[in-house]
């Protein structure tokens, strides 16, 4: 596997090289390590942390201390990937606070920072870039503005929004952003922005024509069945697989007190619902023999 460290410049040059940028969020050491081993070039310690790890209702509750804690955990994996981190809500309201907090994230192990907004935060972005900190913009639906916007709405449908998105993208590139995340931007507007700016656009729910795509990893893996997924097709049903493994182990402990010798490993066939492939909506009841050490690769759960 290629071992050269990925930098902001690597990500930027992927656009001119015609290489799609595949990015995912990471919040801790094992996830960072696994995603890095899978060859993901850009890991974002996103403030989605608040909703998918810390149990907050939205991103506005995440603090600098929480971001630093999780950036440190991701950085300990020493990934080849570039590690970017979100400046959380309220941490970049002024140029001074933006600079102090961007530096704090870098000290914690981030190699780039991201913040939401375009022309409204231009002075902050200029100062961050001037301090030598690679910066990623974030336009479209801005999760840190969810309260004032009254929800998560698609951006770019109205002419005014469309023009604002183009102006914001131009402004961010003008002050040195090396990439821009486009969240929930209509596909035609995202395509236009991608064709217009020199730096890569990385889309989430913004159609296929961005220079790359990013997802919240627990959404991709189906870890949070209670979280509505508008724009994500989960590739795995990790929540079901975890429940299945835990129930299987629990049943073993309750019946026999725990794992026994290798010879005793085979247990009675139990009926489980299996779905193959993982995205088939119906559960198919089948009987399979389950060894305690073997967790079926497809999504499955015990009956009853």
Q: Which residues bind ligand KIV (CB under 6 A)?
A: 25, 44, 46-48, 86, 181, 183, 204, 214, 216
Residue 282: count other Cβ atoms within 10 Å of its Cβ. Answer: 7
**Closer to ligand KIV by Cβ: residue 68 or 240:** 68
**Closer to ligand KIV by Cβ: residue 25 or 300:** 25
| CA–CA separation, 263 and 15 (whole Å) | 55
Tokens of 186: 């209509």
**Closer to ligand KIV by Cβ: residue 50 or 299:** 50
Please answer whether residues 13 and 82 qualify as being in contact, where contact means their C-beta atoms are separated by less than 8 angstroms.
no
Helices and strands in the chain, H and E counts: 11, 11
Output the CA torsion sign for 252, 256, 257, 261: negative
Strands (E), 225-297: 270-275, 284-288
**Closer to ligand KIV by Cβ: residue 55 or 281:** 55
Which of 183, 254, 264, 265 is catalytic? The answer is 183
Please answer whether residues 202 and 248 qualify as being in contact, where contact means their C-beta atoms are separated by less than 8 angstroms.
no
The minimum distance between CB 250 and ligand KIV, in angstroms, equals 33
Output the CA torsion sign for 114, 118, 121, 126: positive
The minimum distance between CB 7 and ligand KIV, in angstroms, equals 20
Active-site residue 65, yes or no? no
Please answer whether residues 193 and 137 qualify as being in contact, where contact means their C-beta atoms are separated by less than 8 angstroms.
no
**Closer to ligand KIV by Cβ: residue 183 or 211:** 183
**Closer to ligand KIV by Cβ: residue 216 or 300:** 216
| CA–CA separation, 287 and 273 (whole Å) | 8
> Which of 4, 47, 5, 43 is CA-nearest to residue 25?
43
Chain residue at closest Cβ approach to ligand KIV? 46
Q: Catalytic residue numbers?
A: 183
């Amino acid at each position: 596997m290629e071992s050269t460290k990925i930098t902001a410049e690597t990500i930027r040059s992927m656009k001119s090289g015609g290489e799609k940028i595949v990015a995912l969020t990471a919040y801790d050491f094992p996830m960072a390590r696994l995603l890095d081993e899978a060859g993901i070039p850009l890991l974002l310690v996103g403030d989605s942390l608040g909703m998918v790890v810390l149990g907050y209702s939205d991103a506005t509750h995440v603090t600098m201390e929480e971001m630093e804690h999780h950036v440190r955990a991701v950085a300990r994996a020493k990934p080849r990937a570039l590690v970017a981190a979100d400046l959380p809500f309220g941490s970049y309201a002024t140029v001074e606070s933006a600079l102090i907090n961007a530096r704090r994230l870098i000290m914690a192990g981030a190699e780039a920072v991201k913040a939401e907004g375009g022309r409204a935060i231009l002075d902050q972005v200029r100062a961050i870039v001037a301090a030598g900190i690679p910066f990623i913009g974030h336009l479209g639906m801005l999760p840190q503005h969810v309260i004032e916007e009254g929800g998560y709405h698609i951006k770019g449908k109205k002419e005014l929004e469309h023009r604002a998105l183009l102006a914001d993208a131009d402004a961010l590139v003008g002050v040195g952003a090396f990439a821009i995340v486009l969240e929930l931007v209509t596909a035609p507007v995202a395509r236009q922005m991608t064709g217009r700016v020199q730096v890569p656009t990385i889309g989430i729910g913004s159609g296929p024509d961005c220079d790359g795509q990013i997802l919240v990893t627990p959404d991709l893996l189906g870890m949070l069945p209670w979280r509505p997924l508008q724009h994500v097709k989960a590739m795995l049903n990790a929540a079901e697989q975890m429940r299945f493994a835990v129930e299987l182990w629990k049943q073993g402990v309750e019946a026999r007190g725990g794992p026994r010798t290798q010879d005793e490993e085979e247990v009675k066939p139990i009926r489980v619902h299996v779905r193959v492939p993982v995205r088939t909506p119906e559960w198919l009841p089948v009987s399979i023999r389950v060894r305690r050490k073997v967790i079926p690769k497809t999504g499955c759960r015990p009956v009853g």
